[in-house]
A and B are shown apart, each in its own frame.
Chain A
Amino acid sequence: GQQLNQSPQSMFIQEGEDVSMNCTSSSIFNTWLWYKQDPGEGPVLLIALYKAGELTSNGRLTAQFGITRKDSFLNISASIPSDVGIYFCAGQLRLFGNEKLTFGTGTRLTIIP
């Protein structure tokens, strides 16, 4: 099935650094979502975006819905150890209800001691 292009695939950073990751699609979506997955757990929703150009923050996390509706960005400022995990973007085309989510390939974040 289709998966969105997400980059980078992995990141190795030091605690306190800022992190940026992005997601691109060949088709448009009217909803972009960012999830975080810890080992052995299901993905947990971090941020939801509903409008092209929208910039939304949730604590140290900031995400943007690209103007073309084909991309989205997630930034994490001043990273801490609990930020370690895999981050997934997901696009959704909501027309008549909550249609399926199409996920990105994931970005694995590791913090170097």
Chain B
Amino acid sequence: GAGVSQSPSNKVTEKGKDVELRCDPISGHTALYWYRQRLGQGLEFLIYFQGNSAPDKSGLPSDRFSAERTGESVSTLTIQRTQQEDSAVYLCASSSWVENTEAFFGQGTRLTVV
């Protein structure tokens, strides 16, 4: 696609439910990043993929958070047993190692846990 696409754009869920957030990177981009942005805050690193492997998952806040990437394309961020403190905008970005491009961001998924 022309840009990074994230879905859903908004998600309201009840505390304790699981959610899946999807990221479609720019076609051909090998690197994919997930960040979390709480209201009025900066971007907090969660996990980074190179191809389908995650060399750095140091930012995942707890074992309730997991992510996978398949086909060196789509990535899914899963949050199990959501808590109210998980409410934030989850941003995905992609870049090309081969072309040495910078990271381009999607518009994010706004998650609200009620």
Number of A-B contacts (CB under 8 A): 66
Q: Which residues of B contact A102 (CB under 8 A)?
A: 45
Q: Interface residue count for B (Cβ, 8 Å)?
A: 28
A53 at the binding interface (Cβ < 8 Å): no
Contact of A103 among B4, B42, B97, B102 (CB under 8 A): B42
Give the residue name and chain of the B residue nearest to A4 (CB): B42
Query: Which residue of A1, A45, A90, A104 is within 8 Å of B104 (Cβ)?
Result: A45
Tell me the smallest distance from the CB of A89 to a CB of chain B, in Å. 10
Complex-state Cα separation, A90 to B42, whole angstroms: 11
> Which chain A residues border B48 with CB–CB below 8 Å?
99-100
> Which A35-89 residues have C-beta < 8 A from chain B?
35, 40-45, 48, 88
How far, in whole Å, are A86 and B109 apart by their CA atoms in the complex?
Answer: 18
Q: Which residues in B have some Cβ–Cβ distance to A below 8 Å?
A: 4, 30-31, 33, 35, 41-45, 48, 50, 56, 58-59, 91, 93, 95-97, 100, 102-108
